[in-house]
A and B are shown apart, each in its own frame.
Chain A
Amino acid sequence: MTLFQISEPGESPLPHATRRAVGIDLGTTNSLVATVRNGSPVVLPDVEGRTLLPSVVRYGDRGVDVGHTALAQAASDPGNTFASVKRLMGRGIADLADDRRYPYRLVEGEGMVRLATRSGIKSPVEVSAEILKVLRRRAEGSLGGAIDGAVVTVPAYFDDAQRQATKDAAKLAGLPVLRLLNEPTAAAIAYGLDNASEGTYAVFDLGGGTFDISILRLSRGVFEVLATNGDSALGGDDFDHRVFCWAIEEAGLAPLSAADARRLLTRSREAKEMLTGHDSAPIAAVLSDGTRVDLTLTSTTFTTITGTLVAKTLAPVKRALRDARLEPADIKGVVLVGGATRMPQIRRAVAEFFGQPPLTNLNPDEVVAVGAAIQANKLIGNRERDDDWLLLDVIPLSLGIETMGGLAEKIVPRNSTIPVVRAQDFTTFKDGQTAMALHVVQGEREKVADCRSLARFELRGIPPMVAGAARIRVSFDVDADGLLSVSAREQTTGLEASIAVKPSYGLTDAEIARMLEESFAHAADDAGARALVETRVEAERIVGATESALGADGDLLDAEERAVIEHALTVVRGAATGDDRRALSAAIDALNAATADFAARRMNCSVARALSGRRVDALG
């Protein structure tokens, strides 16, 4: 039975035409899914009421765990538990800073790094798809059917390969992607800045492990990313670690075992979170050797020990402003994103730097997902009237082609707003040259070897001419998702060749086909898991209905009849905690059978109540 949502005036959907759209924040540390319901954006929780899904995937003996369960096992099974995979999306081993150490094993793959797991070699795309699948199922459960479209957010600095990898992950997870949206733009939309007047805004995003600052300009309802900067190794975790180090020093502890270190780190994080609303917080723990740690961290001490971290966020802010050729005073508003921006120390530093208090009335963990949901709702066609905005983003790195001598000729400069089409004319190098190889590259460096190679293609059949006579126009077309196609056209003959830039991280068609095949192979498991969840939901519904019926009309039953129903209820509740769908179905059927007579009696009773005392002619 469909449940209805309230629409804007004049916009009730046609029957069976409700389009389910979601926004997804696929984060380094946590991921979320949101939708627009009854005209307001809401973040969708899981059955236990949690909105944040830790972006952690574990390949276990008995299948794949995602989120909290995977996180809980990270310590006991570090080699098969994958966190922060977002950092690996579309990256080759050479792209990764070597000093960053991953607790799991990375394998060189064609273009993009791969992960060695118990279940075989996986690409970061496949791991991300596991996270997205969980969010997709959560959304399907909440919205009562298949998702028609999703907006997935990516950092503004993500290059073509990283964007394509994100899109592929969504596709693999069975999510139709409406478009990718830059995270800072999503945050600005969530705050409704798109409805505001013109102005330049800063989005300050301090997550668990990454820091990003973006400068956005809004003019006539259109967002443009002017500049982005950040620190990919700075986040809330570093603040936890400072507190942890302080505690070790203060308590004079010897080097800790892994388990003790984890315990103390957890206490440190809790203390940090408590200081958001209090002046001091206790750090108390008993270590495995019996040592007691009993410290009090004051807000003042915390400010002192984390001062350098706070200062570290401001350097990228200054660089971004310089890139955008702006002063702090030019910024009309500052949006805070990421749980770590709850720290009063951060808020003070931001307020001081920009000379104004930042916007904080939305939950900083949810603001990106909320903005994505609002955008998804509009793109899917559930749009409100009179607002037809489109969003402009920029390309993060220049796009160009290789010219003689291995030099990169930039055709679309960095920070160009997208969608964009740019063309440039080239010519032949040798007399009688009949073909031209085009090598598409991305990056700021002059030498092709230092840029990222995106694609290669050839234009053949150029009529023989003297060198420099042929005119070949090379066009770059970047669409609204930031994805590139390149074409080359010989002007005199109209000869043309083009290429849609392949995922440059090297997921070949064969690999994508294999991944899809695997997903078919696992379709039965997936379907089984889904059926179990559906049955659990049904169990929850019928248990609730029976309980309320017993409460309302329990007097219709004698003690023995009631005991039979109570027993059937207990069986359903028990089976609902297990994994055996058949047993649960059987228990539900038994409960249905046990209550059939009761339901009939209730029905008769309520009809009798409704009819009593009314004249026959008032009926019907």
Chain B
Amino acid sequence: MAITLTESAASHVAAFLSKRGKGVGLRLGVRTSGCSGLAYKLEYADEVRPEDREFESHGVRVIVDPKSLPYLEGMELDFAKEGLNEGFKFNNPNVKDQCGCGESFNV
């Protein structure tokens, strides 16, 4: 199963990347920590490592390390606006429960 970006998320990522002036794509990952066990990583990718899995969505390269992949498979990254605030949202079907703010989660 793939990891996808919504069209809005993809266009924002592309804009941020071009503003940043470097980077090959977007790196998604998880790591253990936080109140509900796991936490997301959302970073610019400057390189692709040999073991990485790569997806493409609306023209943006999405790079995921193999250890993170099982937690993220099938997820979709969205860009959302809430009032004045705006940013990315993980719509992750693997998540069983998460802390109130969604910064950490469990599968």
Residues on A lying within 8 angstroms of B by beta carbon are 1-12, 14-16, 37-40, 44-47, 138, 141-144, 537-538, 540-541
Closest to B83 in A: A537
Confirm or deny: B95 has a beta carbon within 8 angstroms of a beta carbon on chain A. no
- Digitize B13-49: 1 where CB-to-A-CB distance is under 8 Å, 0 elsewhere: 1001001100000110101011100011111111000
Report whether B85 and A143 are in contact in the complex, using a CB–CB cutoff of 8 Å. Answer: yes
Report whether A144 and B44 are in contact in the complex, using a CB–CB cutoff of 8 Å. Answer: no
Report whether B82 and A537 are in contact in the complex, using a CB–CB cutoff of 8 Å. Answer: yes
| Docked complex Cα distance between A11 and B42 (Å) | 9
Which chain B residues lie closer than 8 Å to A9 at the CB level? 27, 43-46
Which chain A residues lie closer than 8 Å to B89 at the CB level? 1, 3-4
Question: Which of B44, B82, B86 gathers the greatest number of chain A CB atoms within 10 Å?
Answer: B82
CB distance from B60 to the nearest CB of A (A): 11
Report whether A39 and B44 are in contact in the complex, using a CB–CB cutoff of 8 Å. Answer: yes
Report whether B44 and A4 are in contact in the complex, using a CB–CB cutoff of 8 Å. Answer: no
Which chain A residues lie closer than 8 Å to B20 at the CB level? 39-40
Report whether A6 and B39 are in contact in the complex, using a CB–CB cutoff of 8 Å. Answer: no
Q: Contacts A1-B102, A141-B83, A141-B85 hold; do A16 and B34 have CB atoms under 8 A apart? A: yes
Question: Which of A6, A11, A143, A537 gathers the greatest number of chain B CB atoms within 10 Å?
Answer: A6
Report whether A44 and B84 are in contact in the complex, using a CB–CB cutoff of 8 Å. Answer: yes
CB distance from B58 to the nearest CB of A (A): 16
Report whether A2 and B103 are in contact in the complex, using a CB–CB cutoff of 8 Å. Answer: yes
| Docked complex Cα distance between A143 and B83 (Å) | 10
Q: Can you name 27 A-B residue pairings with CB atoms under 8 Å?
A: A1-B89, A1-B101, A3-B82, A3-B85, A3-B88, A3-B89, A4-B88, A4-B89, A5-B87, A6-B13, A6-B16, A6-B42, A6-B43, A7-B41, A12-B29, A15-B103, A15-B104, A16-B34, A39-B19, A39-B20, A40-B19, A40-B20, A141-B84, A142-B85, A537-B84, A538-B83, A540-B83
Residue from B27, B42, B46 in contact with A5 in the complex, judged by beta carbons closer than 8 Å: B42
Report whether A15 and B33 are in contact in the complex, using a CB–CB cutoff of 8 Å. Answer: yes
Confirm or deny: B107 has a beta carbon within 8 angstroms of a beta carbon on chain A. no
Q: Contacts A14-B33, A15-B33, A15-B34 hold; do A4 and B40 have CB atoms under 8 A apart? A: yes
Report whether B99 and A40 are in contact in the complex, using a CB–CB cutoff of 8 Å. Answer: no
Given contacts A2-B102, A39-B44, 10 further A-B contacts (CB under 8 A): A4-B87, A5-B42, A7-B41, A15-B34, A40-B20, A45-B84, A46-B84, A47-B83, A47-B84, A141-B83
Residue from B31, B33, B46, B90 in contact with A4 in the complex, judged by beta carbons closer than 8 Å: B90
| Docked complex Cα distance between A38 and B44 (Å) | 9
Confirm or deny: B2 has a beta carbon within 8 angstroms of a beta carbon on chain A. no
Which chain A residues lie closer than 8 Å to B33 at the CB level? 14-15
Q: Contacts A14-B33, A141-B84 hold; do A2 and B44 have CB atoms under 8 A apart? A: no
CB distance from A496 to the nearest CB of B (A): 47
| Docked complex Cα distance between A537 and B81 (Å) | 11
| Docked complex Cα distance between A37 and B15 (Å) | 13
Which chain A residues lie closer than 8 Å to B44 at the CB level? 6-9, 39
Report whether A7 and B43 are in contact in the complex, using a CB–CB cutoff of 8 Å. Answer: yes
Report whether A16 and B84 are in contact in the complex, using a CB–CB cutoff of 8 Å. Answer: no
Closest to B98 in A: A1
Report whether B42 and A7 are in contact in the complex, using a CB–CB cutoff of 8 Å. Answer: yes
| Docked complex Cα distance between A46 and B83 (Å) | 10
Report whether B43 and A8 are in contact in the complex, using a CB–CB cutoff of 8 Å. Answer: yes
Report whether A6 and B88 are in contact in the complex, using a CB–CB cutoff of 8 Å. Answer: yes
Which chain A residues lie closer than 8 Å to B45 at the CB level? 9
Report whether A138 and B84 are in contact in the complex, using a CB–CB cutoff of 8 Å. Answer: yes
- Digitize B68-94: 1 where CB-to-A-CB distance is under 8 Å, 0 elsewhere: 000000000000101111111110000
Which chain B residues lie closer than 8 Å to A5 at the CB level? 42, 87-88
Question: Which of A15, A45, A540 gathers the greatest number of chain B CB atoms within 10 Å?
Answer: A15
Closest to A137 in B: B84
CB distance from A461 to the nearest CB of B (A): 55
Which chain A residues lie closer than 8 Å to B19 at the CB level? 39-40
Which chain B residues lie closer than 8 Å to A143 at the CB level? 85
CB distance from A493 to the nearest CB of B (A): 55
Which chain A residues lie closer than 8 Å to B40 at the CB level? 4, 12
Q: Contacts A3-B86, A141-B85 hold; do A12 and B101 have CB atoms under 8 A apart? A: no
Which chain B residues lie closer than 8 Å to A47 at the CB level? 83-84
Which chain A residues lie closer than 8 Å to B43 at the CB level? 6-12
Which chain B residues lie closer than 8 Å to A144 at the CB level? 82, 85, 87
